[in-house]
Amino acid sequence: MLPTARSHAPDHDLIIPLFDEVRTRTEQLAAPLTPEDAMLQSMEEASPPKWHLAHTTWFFEEFVLKPYLPSYQTPDDRFAFLFNSYYVQAGPRHARDKRGLISRPALREVMSYREHVTEAISALLCSNRSDRDDIAALVELGSHHEMQHQELLVTDLLHALSCNPLLVAYRPPDPVPPAAETEMGFTHHDGGLVETGHKGTGFAYDCEQPRHQGFLEPYRLADRPVINRDWIAFIDDGGYTTQTLWLNDGWAICRKQDWDTPLYWWRQDDEWWSYTLRGAQPVLLDAPVCHVSYYEADAFARWAGARLPSEVEWEAAFADTAIDGNFLESGALRPRPEGGAWGDIWEWTKSPFTSYPGFRPPEGAIGEYNGKFMINQMVLRGGSCATPVRQMRPSYRNFFYPQHRWQMMGLRLAQNA
């Protein structure tokens, strides 16, 4: 029997609507795609939409239906090999960089696989079993897992479509009203002894726990993210060609990959443009800069006489700020001007993704979810225009490698007080 991921008592009245909402939204995100779109894999890190649709389904099958419902029959035993991502303890799996070659099962077969598993989980959630808390906790985990894949589906799709010279729009262009230019200011924080990490009784991943104390020196945090207007000043001032601004590893990759703008930008008729999920668009000068790596964010901060905040500084500053803003549900699918602390872009922090004091992953395959990735990646905070708002909490930690740019990644400056 699989050990459970249960660290709190799940609220059964909330799990069924959460599960329904999540499964439906993934399908809505995939609805505008052709079967050809659904096959695209533009790089190893990004997966085809069809694979996301199937893998999130396999997760429920592997971790809920197979261990808890012995009578469950999978439509195809081979799906476990095709759609396991990285769970070594769940068995062998297909090569990550070859997911775009899985032309069969066809998209319609993957959609019927989804329906099959959705129906089985829904029936299981309605049964009155003694282990219903364990089942509900795993369905809750699977729903949050699927929300993470909704964001990946959208950002992977952006990367894949950006490789098509036709620059097709996933959603129709939407006009964004011009915003007033705002100076960046800094807010003072006293620091001292602070508590961060997951608080309360709701869902959280193992890596957000346990809540713990830390000490902060006084610091200052910018009152808005870095915007495109700021970034253009960095470009114009030789930010991409001044080696002294860069970390050594960052400079090497900047040279090797010829970085001279954020990902998806180009210059046309004396204007900056970028490719977005709403097609080619002029860069919105007052929207947060997006699609920059940790290395670029770090170089920008040095150029600006500042630094990136630590994740504890970020969390301590914004834990009590209401989580609203431009998330996936807004439908904008790109950062907009005048947002707050939450939404629009994930903000790079200078903190490596490591375990909190007392961290204990669950036993079994579910324990592979976060723990084995705690090396060489940096934490991002705040959520983006591709993040479902329901997955956000003050303690939520996103993490990517410092050279990654295809997520909705930007930054906010900090300074020592």
Q: Pick from 262, 40, 46: which is nearest to 155 by CA?
A: 46
57 binds Fe ion (CB under 5 A): no
Closer to Fe ion at the Cβ: 85 or 150? 85
Query: Environment class of residue 69 by beta-carbon count within 10 Å: exposed (0-12), middle (13-18) or buried (19+)?
Result: middle
- 339, 326 contact by CB (below 8 A): yes
The residue from 4, 41, 42, 85 that contacts Fe ion (CB under 5 A) is: 85
Closer to Fe ion at the Cβ: 148 or 242? 148
Token code pair at residue 274:
């970028």
Residue range at the interface with Fe ion (CB under 5 A); choices 82-90, 100-108, 181-189, 266-274: 82-90
Closer to Fe ion at the Cβ: 85 or 349? 85
> Nearest distance from residue 152's CB to Fe ion, in Å?
8
Q: Where are the alpha helices (DSSP H) in 220-277?
A: 228-236, 248-256
Residue range at the interface with Fe ion (CB under 5 A); choices 64-72, 84-92, 357-365, 383-391: 84-92
Phi, psi of 178 (to 5 degrees): -65, 150
Q: Which of residues 225-264 bind Fe ion (CB under 5 A)?
A: none
> Nearest distance from residue 247's CB to Fe ion, in Å?
30
Q: Pick from 223, 235, 222, 346: which is nearest to 285 by CA?
A: 235
Instruction: Report the alpha-carbon angle 177-178-183, nearest 5.
Output: 140
Residue carrying the six token digits 């089942």: 135
> Nearest distance from residue 79's CB to Fe ion, in Å?
14
Q: Bridge partners of 188?
A: 220
Closer to Fe ion at the Cβ: 207 or 297? 207
Closer to Fe ion at the Cβ: 85 or 326? 85
Maximum separation of any 2 CA atoms in the chain, in Å: 67
Strands 409-410 and 398-400: unpaired
Phi-psi region of 332 (alpha: psi -120 to 50; beta: other; left: phi over 0): alpha
Query: Measured between alpha carbons, how far is 152 from 64 in angstroms, rounded to an integer?
Result: 23
Number of other residues whose CB lies within 10 A of the CB of residue 89 = 11
Closer to Fe ion at the Cβ: 264 or 369? 369
Closer to Fe ion at the Cβ: 85 or 395? 85
Q: Pick from 95, 94, 63: which is nearest to 79 by CA?
A: 94
Residue range at the interface with Fe ion (CB under 5 A); choices 85-93, 263-271, 285-293, 332-340: 85-93
> Nearest distance from residue 334's CB to Fe ion, in Å?
24
> Nearest distance from residue 59's CB to Fe ion, in Å?
6
Residue range at the interface with Fe ion (CB under 5 A); choices 77-85, 214-222, 299-307, 309-317: 77-85
Closer to Fe ion at the Cβ: 85 or 162? 85
> Nearest distance from residue 159's CB to Fe ion, in Å?
17
> Nearest distance from residue 145's CB to Fe ion, in Å?
6
Strands 192-196 and 398-400: unpaired
> Nearest distance from residue 84's CB to Fe ion, in Å?
9
> With CB under 5 A, what is the number of residues at the site for Fe ion?
1
For Fe ion, the binding residues (CB under 5 A) are 85
